[in-house]
Amino acid sequence: MAGGGNPVTPIWDRLLHVCFHGDYEENACFHGDYEEEKEEEEEEEEERGTLDLSPLLNKAMMLQARSWLSRARSFSTVSNNPLRVCVVGSGPAGFYTAEKTLKAHQGAEVDIIDRLPTPFGLVRSGVAPDHPETKIVINQFSRVAQHERCSFFGNVTLGSSISLSDLRELYHVVVLAYGSESDRALGIPGEDLMGIHSAREFVWWYNGHPDCRNLDPDLKSTDTAVILGQGNVALDVARILLRPTSELATTDISSHVLTALEESSIRKVYLVGRRGPVQAACTTKELREVLGIKNLYVHIKEADLVKTPADEEEMKNNRIQRRVHELLSKAAASGSSQPNSGQRELHFVFFRKPDSFLESDERSGHVSGVHVEKTFLKGVGPGKQIAVGTGEFEDLDCGMVLKSIGYKSVPVNGLPFDHNKGVVPNIRGRVVTDPLGDPTQVEIGLYVCGWLKRGPTGIIATNLYCAEETVASISEDLERGVLKSRSSLPKPGREGLLQLLNDRNVRPLTFNAWEKIDSEEKSLGSLRNKPREKLTTWEDLLKAAAMK
């Protein structure tokens, strides 16, 4: 697409070594040495056809090249031919990528697209409403979005509004940071029964994500919920179910959710893990919080807390595991042996793996419990133990199940994907063409960051380091000239994107539109003594975005 009108450019492109020193076009140095390019020629098939021409190049052509270069220089200013970067996804991985790119490449233009009208990804729809401090990072991300060389376009969906190949034509660099919007499945009988949800859906529901606005989990037909998993998402979900609603009322939790929680009959929550307290995947802050809920009876079997030598070995070099175990031990020792009447209950259930879901006799198609198998730990390597079934089973009766066993990424057309790991195969953020083939064969100009790159684990700050790595790879590729043949050609970037979206009747929403939504949500919130009242339907979001 780009440069197609100038048939000589690929030749000169090969001919004249162009070095980019981080700041891309401004510091571009032009060297006349052809030899340096030879090694790279082998790598780029599409340009191989031009190679044989090289001996034919004469002085006249060199002059032509110079003339092209002087033109290239003249439009190679910041405004005319910047490095154009598109980041897909506006969560922490996307925003940190944008921030690092803007910093590393003076003059680069970065566009962030998101399928939602609202930016910030899981900071908005993942972080629990009672964790407002964690959301403060939105300030930093907003400054990035308002950077003069950065634009945000919401309501643009990769795969339907625009394809990956469109983006790669429009931009020199495309960084996919759209996270994990699906769930791992257990693959056990009864998983489709009513009353079983993924924790992701439940979290999206209480955080007002428009896609789960109507999840409407039934909290009134049962007093018991089983949460499968013991990571931080599981603890968040348990806390939302058990925490006094008066304490949630002043958060940005969606009003319809607050009402549902106020009417909830759930009093007892089981947190079920396949392995023991040493292997629990939660962190200390979240554990401390859930253990500290007012008037909550916490049950942990003392016997489960006994550490084996293998446990000790595993904990030796893991501060979180040591401190989590310590917290659980303290809670087990200090709690009363019986719940008071009316007291809400949290039961930590270790060494149990779900085998199947039980269907209710009274309510057909509805879950009534989880059939679990007892497990023991088996060492499979230094510091690593897995759960193995003992053949002994028991039932946990419940009317609701939340599966918190991990998120999963979803591929788009044209994107190499490792279905086993649920991530895009990559080397330090560079997308590898074939996950089973040559690991050094990468997709030029295509990168990943965040959960799509490394799987659904880690905290917001993990994305900071993840983005640094990806942006370092981009810089390296520019400096090495891997991206050169494309980046020395102008690309349409933002203008082309907006044109294409316009042609397809897709209406992108800018950061300014988000600010209108933001301001509407805040003013609705102030009426209810909340920091914000989220707009939770597409209709309301689009209406607010269109306000004058």
Detail the residues annotated as belonging to a binding site for FAD: 93, 122, 158, 451, 458-460
Residues 321-340 that bind other proteins (CB under 8 A): 323
Which stretch in 125-133, 166-174, 189-197, 259-267 sits in contact with other proteins by CB under 8 A? 125-133
Name the β-bridge partners of 369. Answer: 358, 397
End-to-end CA distance of the chain: 37
Which of 184, 359, 468, 510 contacts other proteins by CB under 8 A?
468
Q: Does 135 bind other proteins (CB under 8 A)?
A: yes
Which of 73, 143, 220, 330 contacts other proteins by CB under 8 A?
143
Q: Does 138 bind other proteins (CB under 8 A)?
A: yes
Which amino acid, one-letter code, is at 315? Answer: M
Give the three-state DSSP class for 268.
Answer: strand
Residues 224-263 that bind other proteins (CB under 8 A): 252
Identify the CA nearest to 508 among candidates 494, 519, 520.
Answer: 494
Give whichever of 284 and 433 is closer to other proteins, judged by the CB atom.
284
Q: Does 21 bind other proteins (CB under 8 A)?
A: yes
CB 375 within 8 A of CB 304: no
CB 286 within 8 A of CB 236: yes
Q: Does 140 bind other proteins (CB under 8 A)?
A: yes
Question: Residues within the annotated binding site for NADP(+)?
Answer: 230-233, 274-275, 286, 458
For residue 184, CA distances in Å to 23, 45, 179, 199, 410 come to 41, 38, 14, 11, 11
Which of 19, 78, 310, 506 contacts other proteins by CB under 8 A?
19
Q: Does 459 bind other proteins (CB under 8 A)?
A: yes
For residue 196, CA distances in Å to 212, 399, 400, 403, 456 come to 14, 9, 6, 7, 21
Identify the CA nearest to 460 among candidates 101, 92, 132, 133.
Answer: 92
Q: Minimum CB separation from other proteins for residue 131, in Å? A: 7
Cβ neighbours of residue 163 closer than 8 Å, sequence gap 6 or more? 412, 413, 414
b/e per residue, 67-106, with b = 16+ CB within 10 A? ebbeebeeebebeebbbbbbbbbbbbbbbbbbbbbbebbb
CB 265 within 8 A of CB 315: no
Q: How many CA atoms lie within 13 A of 398 on its CB side?
A: 30
Tokens linked to 369: 């419990």
Question: Binders of other proteins: how many residues, by CB under 8 A?
Answer: 41
CB 225 within 8 A of CB 266: yes
Give whichever of 32 and 132 is closer to other proteins, judged by the CB atom.
132
Q: Does 460 bind other proteins (CB under 8 A)?
A: yes
Give whichever of 256 and 522 is closer to other proteins, judged by the CB atom.
522
Which of 5, 7, 29, 340 contacts other proteins by CB under 8 A?
29
Q: Minimum CB separation from other proteins for residue 183, in Å? A: 24
CB 422 within 8 A of CB 431: no
Q: Minimum CB separation from other proteins for residue 499, in Å? A: 32
Give whichever of 143 and 378 is closer to other proteins, judged by the CB atom.
143
Give whichever of 282 and 377 is closer to other proteins, judged by the CB atom.
282
Q: Taking each helix axis as running N to C, give the angle between helix 92-104 and helix 460-480, from 0 to 180 degrees, rounded to the nearest 10.
A: 40
Which of 39, 42, 52, 133 contacts other proteins by CB under 8 A?
133
Give whichever of 453 and 532 is closer to other proteins, judged by the CB atom.
532
Q: Does 132 bind other proteins (CB under 8 A)?
A: yes
Cβ neighbours of residue 149 closer than 8 Å, sequence gap 6 or more? 82, 102, 107, 108, 109, 110
Q: Does 472 bind other proteins (CB under 8 A)?
A: yes
Q: Does 40 bind other proteins (CB under 8 A)?
A: no
Which stretch in 110-118, 259-267, 522-530, 538-546 sits in contact with other proteins by CB under 8 A? 522-530
Q: Does 476 bind other proteins (CB under 8 A)?
A: yes
Residues 478-517 that bind other proteins (CB under 8 A): 479-480
- What is the binding site for other proteins (CB under 8 A)? 19, 21, 29, 131-140, 142-143, 252, 283-285, 288, 319-320, 323, 428, 459-461, 464-465, 468-469, 472, 476, 479-480, 518, 522, 525-526, 531-532
